[in-house]
Chain A
Amino acid sequence: MAGERSIWAQLRADPAGLAGLAVVGLFGVVAVAAWLGWVGQDWSAAGGGRWEPAGPDHWFGTNILGQDIFQRSIYSVRTAFEIGLVVAVLSTLLGALLGALSGWYSHGWVDASILWLKGVLDSIPFYLFVAAVAFALQGNAWAMHVAMIATFWTTTGRLVRAEVMKLKTRDFVLAARTIGLPDRVILRRHLLPNTVHILLVQASIAFVAAIKTEVILSFLGLGVQDGVSWGLMLAESTQEVLAGHFNNFLAASLMLFALLMAFNLLADALQDAFDPKQAAQ
């Protein structure tokens, strides 16, 4: 694994990755500003007429209820970051934990159980699983997050398992075992820190997947319960576009695209920075 300084140097030499980082940062600032109550607070106020065109009062026009589409799309940045961060962080941590246990005790019963759980979760059609979780949690606003975390960890788990199986035969791990360090100390101090490169890349991929999934779940009525999101705006727009009102659709889909593209570019750049050999191909 490359050192931290060289990762940053690699990233700086990658214009697409830098652009991605800048755009993600910009969206992050907007999300924090919306969270602090500085912007996008009028997202639910019906302050205009039905389907007003874009103009100085309503920059992106209004929707069927006269709500300001600009305010709604800005507030949705906060919603997207909330979903993306919660799902990315927790699913990656869960994957790291289960993957590390699985790899450390490989070919034992712990490993077999974790692999079985992964196989089971991978065999249930995802949207049916989310719908079932949503009903089991009786419409709880966190049902969507729970379902995504419960299924998104499997890829991270598989990669961390392989890495830990590789690392545990290395000399520094053998040395740690020889001096009698307990397993959990070796795992926490010596093995997991060496999988950080996998975790960072997987977390940014999970962030993208979470936001994309939210859109579909909101369309199916299983996503964001109260508040506003790009998914809810797109769900609203499915009827509007047939009547020739495109503002909701354009605002939500363009902002969504900008954030997803930036995150994908960042994830690629991180992957290349951590794995220069692969990047050279």
Chain B
Amino acid sequence: MGYPLRKAVSGLLLILGVTFISFLLMVWFGPEQTYTLVGKNATASQIAEVRRELGYDQPFLQRYADYVADLFTLQLGNSNASGEQVSRILARTVPVTLALMLPGFLLGNGLGIALGLAAAHRRGQWSDRLISALSVTGMSISFLVIIIALQVLLSTPYGLNLFPVRGWQVTDFSSYLHYVTVPTLALVLITLGYNTRFYRAVFVEESARDHIKTARAFGASPVVILWKHVLKNSLVPIITRIMFSIPLVVISGSLLMESYFGIPGVGKVAFDAITSGDQPVLKAVVGLTAVAFVLIQIATDMLYRLVDPRVA
């Protein structure tokens, strides 16, 4: 099989797997909405009517086939709970999540790369040890503890009381800064320990290679070596880490932030859909995340070819 075909087949199998497992867990074994929708004192025929409308009376394979067909034709349908179009729910919540998570995501990775480079550059010296010790400390603090501590320190009268405790009333740039600062700081602190440690290991491994030793022997300056050789040759692991953490940070990470700060983003919507059994919303979020993962894998592969001609 040729490379693009192989990639397409494995991507398709991955999407089928994710949709199958999520269908099995979230739809087949998930909560039913029938009794929420029919209300009190429903007759048996009313219940059967609602079950038929929602498709609960269909056999397993039929329902799974419908689910996949809906996903591939982008027929996302309406939310069972609110009746709102799923595509409109996504259009409303995804931008909020991106606005909430993007600054912290970029800062967390940027600072991680900078600290990792600094530590790898002074390997074994006290500044490297300090950075490494702080990374392990950061990795040992629970996400929830960081969020609570920052909230107390920055948003309550027990601390500086500069920012709102929770919510998301964003109308312009200054109100955006007002609401996004505490979540952003929290996300940076949560991810910085892991990022710094990962990037330091990448840079340390890269600096130990023979061509770096050669460059050093020829008297190239440490800064030139760091920028031109170490950083450039570390692009593949850096790209991999950033690309693969996008879907997880956007969905899993935002769920925690959005639940804690009461922000109407897609993570919270997906979580509420699971706990209430709102299947059209779930189908869309989980299915589209799987598709995004596969697309990201393909995009990452293409990026590799750009930065590393040997892969092609």
Contacts and interface: CB of A to CB of B under 8 A. Distances in A.
Contacts of B251: 125, 127-128
Interface of A: 116-117, 119-121, 123-129, 131-133, 135-136, 208, 212, 215-216, 219-220, 231, 234-235, 237-238, 241-242, 244, 246, 249, 253, 256-257, 260-261, 264-265, 268, 281
Contacts of A241: 148, 151-152, 156, 158
A256 B205 contact: no
A260 B140 contact: yes
Given A125-B286, A231-B144, 15 more contacts: A116-B13, A119-B17, A120-B14, A123-B247, A126-B252, A128-B252, A131-B274, A135-B274, A241-B148, A241-B156, A249-B148, A257-B145, A260-B142, A264-B136, A264-B140
Contact of A131 (B18, B152, B271, B289): B271
A216 B256 contact: yes
B14 A135 contact: no
Contacts of A133: 25
Nearest to A259: B140
A244 to B, nearest CB: 6
Contact of B148 (A127, A238, A261, A281): A238
A104 B289 CA distance: 32
Interface string B121-158: 00100000000000011011111110011011000101
Contacts of B148: 234, 237-238, 241, 249, 253
Contacts of B139: 208, 260, 264
A9 B278 CA distance: 57
B141 A260 contact: yes
Given A126-B252, A215-B144, A264-B139, A132 B274 contact: yes
The residue in B13, B26, B294 that gathers the most chain A C-beta atoms within 10 A of its C-beta is B26
24 contacts: A119-B17, A121-B21, A124-B22, A124-B289, A124-B290, A125-B255, A125-B270, A127-B271, A128-B285, A135-B275, A136-B29, A215-B145, A216-B142, A219-B144, A219-B256, A220-B256, A220-B271, A237-B148, A253-B142, A253-B148, A260-B142, A261-B136, A281-B204, A281-B205
B92 to A, nearest CB: 19
Nearest to A219: B144
A190 to B, nearest CB: 30
A119 B16 CA distance: 11
Given A124-B21, A128-B251, A261 B137 contact: yes
A216 B30 contact: no
B248 interface: yes
B293 A123 contact: yes
A127 B149 CA distance: 23
Given A241-B151, A257-B145, A268-B136, A116 B17 contact: yes
B293 to A, nearest CB: 4
The 3 lowest CB-CB distance pairs between A and B, nearest first, are A136-B29, A120-B17, A125-B251
Given A117-B17, A241-B148, A128 B274 contact: yes
Contacts of A264: 136, 139-140
A135 B30 contact: yes
Contact of B26 (A121, A127, A132, A231): A132
Contact of B208 (A119, A124, A281): A281
Contacts of A126: 248, 252
B64 interface: no
Contacts of A215: 142-145
B143 A216 contact: yes
B234 interface: no
A126 B143 CA distance: 15
Interface in B193-226: 204-205, 208
Given A116-B17, A129-B25, A253 B248 contact: no
B24 to A, nearest CB: 8
A123 B139 CA distance: 23
B192 to A, nearest CB: 15
Contacts of A260: 139-142
Contacts of A281: 123, 204-205, 208
Interface string B16-49: 0110011001100111000000000000000000
B254 to A, nearest CB: 10
A125 B252 contact: yes
Contacts of B205: 281
A219 B259 CA distance: 9
Interface string B251-263: 1100110011000
